[in-house]
Structure 1
Amino acid sequence: MTFRIRAAHDGDLQPLYEMAKLTGGGFTNLPADRKSLRAKLERSHQAFARIDDGTLTDETFVLVLENVETGDVRGTCQLFTHVGQRFPFYSYRLGNLTQHSKELSRTFRADMLSLSTDLEGCSEVGGLFLHPGERAGGLGMLLARSRYLFIAQHRARFADRILAELRGVIDEAGGSPFWDGLAGRFFGMNFQDADHFNAIHGHQFIADLFPKHPIYTAMLSESARAAIGLPHPSGRAAMRMLENEGFAFENYVDIFDGGPTMTAKTDRVRAICEAKRDTVAAVDGDGGDQALVATGTLAEFRCAYGAVQVGDGGITIDEACADAIDVRPGDAVVHVGRI
């Protein structure tokens, strides 16, 4: 069974909606709301249609994972080129304050959360969701790493720093201990309602109502403190993948669920700096090294796993990969080894 990554189109609205209903909440970039998803697809269409690759502006690209044999959409991922342009991009920055008392001969160290827009202007990779029925065979890795090959193909449209937000701890009832212990006290709404509102209407309500002064973590409940910087159990593998690509946790956390925000220098992301550009010299089934192989730009971008042999005159790839991304000898591709 062969899968490929391609640009999303209007016909993908229903499968995207069905997948959004499976996320379990806390997944802002894939809201279970048809109107919001349709608007996201429209923004993506506009981004794919802009052929000027030399300008960095606020754009969204939506990609999907497609079963080549059936045409079924079984996963999705997104890229945001310049966050914080339409709405402020807020994070909490975890820091500390150390104070010393001579009279008590004691030093006190207090951890604090400060509302921050430090990450405005970054690019973001997000919105990755793989259908539960396909969580095998490295398809999550295909979704994740295809984004970096897309960036490599359109480097001028992305910032020099890139981030990825991981969903935080969500309890069995769909609530967030972090939200309940902090922001929920100021908003008078539960986590699910706030998360849904944010997904549809953006972050401005945060600027209007969030406390602007640092929050001492000692004032939070134990469950809220324990959730700071922890990914949802289902996101641990995603966190390891990000770390393998060169992302690091630099004490930024999501203001809704306290999940970690990972950051990296764009040109140091492993899949981007290791990507190779080649010409297809031949197509056959004699094996080779497993790799991600991508071709095309913008709406014609396609990516799939393939067996690659590197030669003096270009690369040889297997037939299934060539068919999935529709390349023949003489076509240009970009590829990176599978990890």
Structure 2
Amino acid sequence: MILIRPIQVTDFDALVDIAKASGHGFTSLPVDEALLKNRIKSSIQAFNLDINTQPNLHFNHTPAHYLFVAEDTDTKLIVGTSAIDAAVGLSDPFYHYRLSKIVHSSHALNVYKVVELLTLCNDYTGATEIGSLFLMPEYRQGLNGKLLSKFRFLFMAEHRNRFSDRIFAEMRGICDEDGHSPFWRWLQDNFFQIDFPTADYLSGIGNKAFIAELMPQLPIYVNLLSKKAQAVMGKVHEQTLPALKLLQHEGFSYRGYIDIFDAGPTVEAELNHIRSVRSSLKLAVEITDQQDDLSQAELCLLVNTQVKNFRATLHSVVTDKAAGKVYLPSKLASYLKLTEKDSCRILLL
């Protein structure tokens, strides 16, 4: 069984392995031990943040970073990661390119030309970002990928006061095996003179000053970009396509924002409009190992309602929606840290 839980200090070595396996373009997990230790530390602080007893704390000025891991309960191996940033851009600027249009026209010359522009912006400041989703290749089977993505929506549904209403995800753009991005290549040749892996790494470790210093401040005419750069704008890396399709199924859509490094698309949705949020149910827990009619069991994504001791997994369970109950075997309840005093949020799959 794959169990989702908050990252712990003891998961550091596994996190380093995942960062190495994720490859180029996975900016949120650079191979930097000091930074990864800090990610773990900040995540633990976020999970320990008690907003209910500190009313002045709210996502608008609390840039909390929640990092989760997927653990194989049979082998105890950490096989994946997934994260939520409660509010981006509050401590450091968060950059995107916004794709827009401008019209050049002259009635006298009978000329009418629509031209696309890329404008550097900080439009997602304060919004909640989901990211750092990575699953080890040997576990990319069944519903493991869906579990690693969808549980975040149930966590946010249960703890809405920790997050923005605007949820977005940056999709990994196109780059080759050596980490070279056609989009960045044009920027590199004209403005930066540093290659894509270096720029990607610097951004990942939080060194973003070079963006403000070297990035062109005026809008860029798209038709001035190289043909290769134009061809990858808004396109996703082949390994990211399944994640994009899953988010689209949840109701996420592309609104014309792309990553400033690899031109991958950013997709967004309102929290209340996300399919998994709308479809989830909160039921009272009843623990029993005497489930006679297992033919009524349905495959569900189950999450407890805790923060610091959050747990999530997939399992077939019996529910009584009319009575508002979900019946859990004792071993499953133990994994999810649930007792009969608790409630459980579920999503029927």
TM-score under structure 2 normalisation?
0.92
The code of the aligned residue for 1:101 comes to S
Are the aligned partners of 1:91 and 1:117 in contact in 2 as well (CA < 8 Å)? yes
> 1 CA distance for matches of 2:98 and 2:288?
50
1:117-136 correspondence runs (5 A):
117-136=122-141
Are the aligned partners of 2:309 and 2:337 in contact in 1 as well (CA < 8 Å)? no
Residues 22 and 110 of structure 1, relative CA distance in 2, 3 Å threshold: same
Alignment partner of 1:142: what SS? helix
> Is 27-36 or 47-56 further displaced after alignment?
47-56
1:220-259 correspondence runs (5 A):
220-259=225-264
Alignment partner of 1:145: what SS? helix
Alignment partner of 1:243: what SS? helix
> Is 164-173 or 45-54 further displaced after alignment?
45-54
The code of the aligned residue for 1:265 comes to E
Find the counterpart in structure 1 of residue 39 from structure 2: 40
Q: CA deviation at 1:315?
A: 1.2
Are the aligned partners of 1:183 and 1:256 in contact in 2 as well (CA < 8 Å)? no
The code of the aligned residue for 1:333 comes to C
Alignment partner of 2:240: what SS? helix
Find the counterpart in structure 1 of residue 80 from structure 2: 75
Q: CA deviation at 1:296?
A: 4.0
Are the aligned partners of 1:191 and 1:256 in contact in 2 as well (CA < 8 Å)? yes
Residues 278 and 193 of structure 1, relative CA distance in 2, 3 Å threshold: same
> 2 CA distance for matches of 1:333 and 1:202?
41
1:185-200 correspondence runs (5 A):
185-200=190-205
Task: Give unpaired runs (5+ residues) of structure 1.
Answer: none
1:271 aligns with 2:282: no
1:5-154 correspondence runs (5 A):
5-53=4-52, 54=55, 55-56=58-59, 57-154=62-159
Q: CA deviation at 1:210?
A: 0.9
Superposed CA RMSD: 1.6
> 2 CA distance for matches of 1:183 and 1:266?
37
Find the counterpart in structure 2 of residue 327 from structure 1: 338
The code of the aligned residue for 1:295 comes to N
Q: CA deviation at 1:103?
A: 4.2
Q: CA deviation at 1:70?
A: 1.6
TM-score under structure 1 normalisation?
0.95
For residues 80-116 of structure 1, give each alpha carbon's deviation from its aligned partner in whole angstroms, at most 9, with x where no partner exists: 0010011111100011112223344231111111101
The code of the aligned residue for 1:82 comes to A
Are the aligned partners of 2:287 and 2:333 in contact in 1 as well (CA < 8 Å)? no
Q: CA deviation at 1:45?
A: 1.0
Q: How many residues align?
A: 337
> 2 CA distance for matches of 1:297 and 1:7?
11
Are the aligned partners of 2:188 and 2:195 in contact in 1 as well (CA < 8 Å)? no
Q: CA deviation at 1:185?
A: 2.7
The code of the aligned residue for 1:322 comes to A
Are the aligned partners of 2:97 and 2:120 in contact in 1 as well (CA < 8 Å)? yes
> 1 CA distance for matches of 2:73 and 2:9?
18
1:305 aligns with 2:310: no
1:195-206 correspondence runs (5 A):
195-206=200-211
> Is 267-276 or 8-17 further displaced after alignment?
267-276
Residues 183 and 214 of structure 1, relative CA distance in 2, 3 Å threshold: farther
Identity among equivalent positions (%) equals 34
